[in-house]
């Protein structure tokens, strides 16, 4: 067992949350020292090794009594008088060069350390560092900057916190799971003091997991001949695709008698592809909404009900895709959840917000109140990467109500439109594949969860702009399969993670 001594009283809840999350990810037991332990002058030798989050010299006599210890100095920059003020968000970060690599990383990113030179100092049975990873982890997991900054939205329509506003993007570390990196640093330091420490594994025989997800915004591309004609003309004139243009029209006619011929009806294709590798996935369905971004199908349409039956029978998860304005509207989300509950069998499922619209901590609060198993929204729409700095499911913290939220966040790492769309990252095919592989490699390094979103409508075989990407999805599957990844839907990945292979 690892003992944890937190000197700071004012922010104890926040700091305890950080250590609880760290212990969960490491799969180790921790013990928080109480006032009794400190004041009663009793023996405190029941923990093999300890972590001290130190503010001052006040408790030196107690700290001296602890045998082996890692001392992390509180920078008092986040947990300060300026807490929740916009100017408590730093503009830049620093790097500490490690003497040795930790999981292929040569340095540690530090957001909140004091102004002195960064150090990790080792003495007999004692390691001291001023790299304030506790503040950093809290900052990243709670999405602190998104809550306290009056951010400029990426545009007026979507009103989202853009990647470009984030500290991670501005300082070029959005592609690094810095929370995982810092947790590995803690682990490396603890192991230096006590090599007998062991941590639990989550994924059984697999070293990491992938969570495959599909937002079902549409089930049908053409509701009338006009749209099909328009697309065929576009294919002909703009793309000079004569054969495809004619095929598109013929397909429209065919889809009138067989809806599964519609270019957006790609569900069987996706299921077959994933099953080939022994994977399943989650399909998030929309069940309401009132904007022009919603209601592209009716939730209790027989086609949808039959599809959900098939998916659930085959072990896929059917979750909820919250309509455009549901992210900050409890009543709306509640009504939509009632609709979904009337057509799915499973009572436990996750949620993803449409267009990744999310307002921390309010969206989590609404989702928590409605009893969703997890949220899977948190990637930036305009860039792939680690928005929360982590590649593990975790319980978020509400910095305005000062409490841990009772909902899991499974951070999204890649949405296909982020890498495909020229308004966002807009990579070429090969570049995108390489970027995704680099992200996967990191998730594997930290035994985390690689969460991928690929819309069913992005497999449209009559749209050359998107159909050329189908191969990328397959290549990602192959890559993950070769790496012996546990690939499944959000619910099963989370359950396995919580059970830790037991
Ligand atoms: Zn959507």
DSSP-H helix ranges across 298-356:
302-313, 330-341
Rounded to whole angstroms, the Cα distance separating 410 from 138 reads 17
CA of 101 to the centre of ligand 1 (A): 40
Are 174 and 319 part of one and the same domain? Answer: no
Least confident window among 137-141, 219-223, 284-288, 354-358: 219-223
Å from CA of 150 to ligand 1 middle:
25
Q: Which residues have CB less than 5 Å away from ligand 1 (the ion)? A: 215, 217, 354
Tell whether 288 and 159 lie within a shared domain: no
3-class SS at 146?
Answer: helix
What's the 294 CA to ligand 1 centre distance in angstroms?
Answer: 8
Is 299 in the same domain as 421?
yes
Does 136 fall in a domain?
Answer: yes
Residue 491: CATH number of its domain: 3.20.20.370
Q: What is the mean pLDDT of the chain?
A: 93
Give me the mean pLDDT over the 299-317 stretch.
97
Which among 381, 457, 464 has a CA at the least distance from the CA of 415?
A: 381
Alpha carbons 169 and 158: distance in angstroms, whole number: 19
Domain boundary at 193, 226, 255, which?
Answer: 193
Asked whether residue 52 carries a pLDDT value surpassing 80, the answer given is yes
Gap between the Cα atoms of 457 and 316, Å rounded: 18
Q: How many angstroms is it from 456 CA to the middle of ligand 1?
A: 10
CA of 250 to the centre of ligand 1 (A): 28
CB atoms near residue 329 (< 10 Å): 17
pLDDT digits (tens, 9 = 90+) for 263-305: 999 999 999 999 999 999 999 999 999 999 999 999 999 999 9
Q: What stretch of H or E contains 128?
A: strand 126-129
The alpha carbon torsion through 12, 369, 388, 400 (nearest 10 deg) reads: -40
Ligand 1 centre and the CA of 215: distance in Å? 5
* Any domain includes 247: no
Residue 246 falls within a domain, yes or no?
A: no
One domain for residues 189 and 283: no
Residue 132, pLDDT > 60, answer yes
**Ligand 1 centroid distance, CA of 217 (Å):** 5
Q: How many CB atoms lie within 10 A of CB 97?
A: 8
State whether 144 and 291 are in the same domain. Answer: no
Whether residue 85 lies inside any domain: the answer is: yes
Q: Are residues 171 and 281 in the same domain?
A: no
Residue 214 DSSP SS3:
strand
Render pLDDT for 414-453 as a digit per residue (tens, 0 to 9): 999 988 877 777 788 899 999 999 999 999 999 999 999 9
Cα 317 from Cα 18, distance rounded (Å): 30
Determine the Cα–Cα distance for residues 389 and 139; give it in Å rounded to an integer. Answer: 10
Nearest to 392 by CA among 442, 350, 357: 442
Specify if 6 maps to a domain: yes
- pLDDT band (50, 70, 90) for residue 502: low
Residue 364 CA, ligand 1 centroid: distance in Å: 18
Q: Is the dihedral of CA 254, 259, 265, 267 positive or negative?
A: negative
Strand pairing of 120-123 and 126-129?
antiparallel
Say how many Å lie between the CA of residue 414 and the centre of ligand 1: 14
Tell me if 204 is assigned to some domain: no
Ligand 1 mean position, distance from CA 410 (Å): 17
Q: Would you call 383 exposed, middle or buried from its count of C-beta atoms within 10 A (0-12, 13-18, 19+)?
A: buried
How far away, in angstroms, is 453 Cα from ligand 1 center? 10
Residue 478 lies in a domain: yes
**Confidence label for 226 from pLDDT (cuts 50, 70 and 90):** confident
Q: Are residues 174 and 323 in the same domain?
A: no
Q: How far is the CA of 254 from the centre of ligand 1 (A)?
A: 27
The tens digit of pLDDT for each residue in 67-110 reads: 999 999 999 999 999 999 999 999 999 999 998 899 989 999 99
C-alpha to C-alpha distance for 442 and 463, rounded to whole angstroms: 33
Domain that holds residue 167: 2-193
Token pair 């949350």: residue: 17
Cα 157 to ligand 1 centroid, rounded to whole Å: 14
Quote the tokens at residue 242. Answer: 């004569």
Centre of ligand 1 from the C-alpha of residue 455, in Å? 8
Distance 113 CA to ligand 1 centre (A): 39
The two structure tokens encoding residue 392: 């593990």
286 and 166 housed in the same domain: no
Residues 303 and 160 in one domain: no
How many domains does the chain fold into? 2
CA of 324 to the centre of ligand 1 (A): 8
Q: Please tell me the distance between residue 325's alpha carbon and the centre of ligand 1 in angstroms.
A: 11
Residue 207 token pair: 């070293």
Q: Within a domain: residue 243?
A: no
- Ligand 1 center from residue 323 Cα (angstroms): 8
In whole angstroms, give the CA distance from residue 350 to residue 323.
14
Q: What is the CATH number of the domain that holds 62?
A: 3.40.50
CA of 352 to the centre of ligand 1 (A): 8
């Amino acid at each position: 067992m690892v003992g944890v001594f937190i000197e700071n009283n004012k922010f104890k809840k926040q700091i305890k949350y950080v250590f609880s999350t760290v212990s969960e990810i490491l799969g180790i037991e921790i013990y928080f020292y109480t006032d009794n332990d400190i004041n009663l002058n009793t023996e405190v030798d029941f923990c093999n090794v300890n972590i001290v989050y130190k503010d001052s010299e006040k408790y030196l006599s107690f700290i001296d009594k602890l045998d082996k210890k890692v001392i992390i100095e509180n920078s008092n920059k986040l947990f300060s008088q300026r807490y929740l003020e916009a100017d408590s968000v730093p503009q830049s970060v620093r790097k500490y060069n490690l003497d040795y690599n930790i999981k292929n990383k040569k340095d540690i990113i530090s957001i909140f350390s004091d102004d002195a030179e960064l150090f990790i100092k080792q003495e007999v049975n004692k390691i001291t560092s001023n790299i304030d990873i506790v503040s950093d982890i809290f900052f990243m997991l709670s999405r602190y900057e998104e809550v306290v900054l009056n951010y400029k939205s990426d545009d007026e329509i979507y009103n989202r916190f853009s990647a470009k506003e984030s500290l991670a993007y501005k300082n070029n570390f959005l592609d690094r799971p810095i929370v995982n990196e810092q947790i590995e640093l803690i682990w490396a330091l603890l192991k230096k003091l006590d090599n007998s420490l062991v941590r639990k594994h989550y994924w059984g025989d697999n070293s990491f997991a992938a969570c495959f997800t599909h937002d079902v915004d549409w089930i049908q591309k053409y509701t009338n001949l006009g749209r099909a004609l328009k697309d065929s003309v576009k294919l002909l004139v703009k793309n000079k695709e004569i054969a495809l243009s004619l095929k598109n029209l013929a397909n429209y006619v065919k889809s009138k008698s067989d809806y599964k011929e519609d270019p957006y009806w790609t569900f069987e294709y996706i299921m077959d592809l994933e099953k080939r590798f022994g994977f399943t996935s989650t399909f998030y369905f929309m069940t309401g909404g009132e904007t022009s971004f919603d209601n592209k199908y009716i939730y209790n349409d027989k086609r949808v009900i039959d599809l959900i039956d098939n998916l659930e029978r085959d072990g896929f998860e059917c979750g909820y895709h919250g309509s455009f304005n549901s992210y900050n509207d409890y009543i709306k989300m509640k009504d939509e959840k009632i609709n979904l509950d009337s057509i799915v069998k499973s009572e436990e499922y996750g949620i993803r917000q449409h267009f990744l619209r999310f307002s921390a901590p309010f969206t989590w609060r609404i989702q928590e109140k409605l009893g969703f198993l997890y949220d899977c929204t948190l990637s930036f729409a305009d860039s792939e990467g680690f928005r929360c700095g982590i590649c593990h499911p975790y319980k978020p913290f509400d910095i305005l109500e000062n409490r841990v939220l009772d909902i899991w966040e499974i951070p999204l790492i890649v949405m296909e439109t982020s890498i495909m769309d020229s308004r966002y990252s807009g990579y070429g095919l090969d570049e995108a594949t390489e970027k995704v592989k680099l992200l996967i490699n990191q998730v594997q390094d930290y035994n985390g969860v690689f969460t991928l979103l690929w819309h069913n409508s992005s497999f449209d075989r009559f749209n050359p702009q998107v159909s050329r990407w189908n191969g990328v999805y397959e290549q990602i599957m192959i890559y993950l399969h070769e790496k012996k990844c546990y690939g499944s839907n959000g619910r099963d990945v989370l359950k396995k993670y919580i059970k830790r292979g037991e």
